[in-house]
């Protein structure tokens, strides 16, 4: 990896116009609509009830050109996976509209030769006319095929600690076998999620689900369980990705609430392993 190029990389601002059907497609991609009588789900998957997209819809809007960064920085794209995701939601997105995305690399940490590297980047979405910010996304990408090229001093921020007691709330969510194929229609066309040969090259026996799709599922679990479907009351959502999910697996979000903070993790029930760990959601006052 060319750490000097990655650390000083300058993204071009990106614009993204979307329609209500895109917001509905996102909700369907993360699995809403499976309960056709549930008013909370219908609020995000039917045109007549859609007031605002889900807040995590921001993960697929005006995405920066990461492939250009990976190519210039000589990063093994096939072995790149999502490491962490943190978002701050300032205001709801309109049903349809346009956003401007501005991104920058905020850190590069070398784990050592053969152990990979962590690349942190910030991505903000704004209304093009008013300049009001919709959200801030802070992502850490794990370049598993790189490392040993040096990086910034220090380490990424420590993960949110989970309580040591049994979870007080659960939300089960079935992913579809075609979940990744639906989700990729929102713009993330990484073949790791659709091409068995590419998945094999990356060390998986079949295509995996997008980490940000699982992230959206976790966000919905918090909204459904503690906010009675009021997505606009979710202020922040942070997590660390620990294991990949395969499309079609059943997920269980385990949650603890302490005031306006919800701690969570996502477990893959069929394999009894944790896919998302150290989760933290902040509920708006």
Residue 29 CB coordination number (10 Å) = 25
Catalytic residue (one of 22, 110, 146, 188): 188
Q: Which of 142, 124, 141 is nearest to 132 (CA)?
A: 124
The answer to whether the beta carbons of residues 238 and 87 sit under 8 Å apart is yes
Written as six digits, the tokens of 166 are 């049994």
Residue 51, Cβ neighbours under 10 Å: how many? 11
Catalytic annotation present for 193: yes
C-beta of residue 63 within 8 angstroms of C-beta of residue 188? yes
The DSSP annotation for 136-186 comes to EEEEEEEETT--SS---SS-PPPPPPPPSS--SEEEEEEPPTTHHHHHGGG
Give the span between the Cα atoms of 103 and 122, in whole angstroms: 5
Instruction: Evaluate whether 43 touches 49 at the Cβ level (below 8 Å).
Output: yes
- Please pick, among 110, 146, 173, 193, the residue that the annotation labels catalytic: 193
How far is residue 184's CA from residue 238's CA, in Å, rounded to a whole number?
22
Q: Are 264 and 279 in contact (CB under 8 A)?
A: yes
Q: Give the tokens for residue 245.
A: 């999910």
Picking from 19, 20, 27, the residue whose alpha carbon sits closest to that of residue 45 is 27
Is position 188 annotated as part of the catalytic site? yes
CA distance 188 to 179: 13
| Residue position matching structure tokens 């000589």 | 74
Catalytic residues: 188, 193
């Amino acid at each position: 990896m060319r750490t000097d190029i990655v650390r000083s990389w300058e993204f071009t601002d990106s614009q993204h116009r979307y329609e209500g059907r895109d917001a509905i497609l996102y909700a369907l991609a993360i699995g809403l609509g499976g309960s056709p009588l549930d008013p909370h789900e219908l609020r995000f998957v039917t045109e007549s009830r859609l007031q605002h997209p889900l807040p995590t819809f921001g993960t697929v809007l005006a995405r920066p050109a990461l492939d250009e960064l990976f190519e210039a920085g000589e990063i093994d794209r096939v072995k790149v996976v999502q490491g962490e995701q943190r978002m701050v939601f300032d205001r709801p997105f309109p049903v349809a509209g346009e956003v401007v995305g501005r991104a920058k690399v905020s850190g590069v940490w070398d784990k050592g030769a053969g152990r990979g590297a962590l690349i942190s980047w910030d991505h903000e979405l704004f209304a093009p006319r008013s300049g009001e910010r919709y959200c801030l996304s802070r992502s850490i990408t794990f370049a598993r095929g790189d490392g040993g090229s040096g990086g910034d001093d220090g380490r990424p921020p420590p993960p949110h600690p989970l309580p040591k007691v049994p979870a007080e709330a659960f939300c089960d969510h079935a992913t579809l076998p075609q979940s990744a194929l639906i989700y990729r229609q929102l713009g993330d066309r990484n073949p790791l999620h659709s091409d068995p040969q590419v998945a094999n090259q990356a060390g998986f026996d079949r295509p995996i689900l997008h980490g940000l799709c699982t992230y959206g599922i976790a966000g919905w679990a918090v909204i459904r369980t503690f906010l009675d479907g009021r997505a606009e009351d979710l202020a922040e959502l942070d997590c660390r990705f620990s294991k990949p999910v395969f499309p079609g697996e059943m997920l269980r979000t385990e949650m603890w609430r302490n005031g306006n903070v919800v701690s969570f993790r996502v477990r893959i029930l069929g394999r009894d392993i944790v896919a998302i760990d150290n989760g933290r959601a902040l509920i708006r006052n």
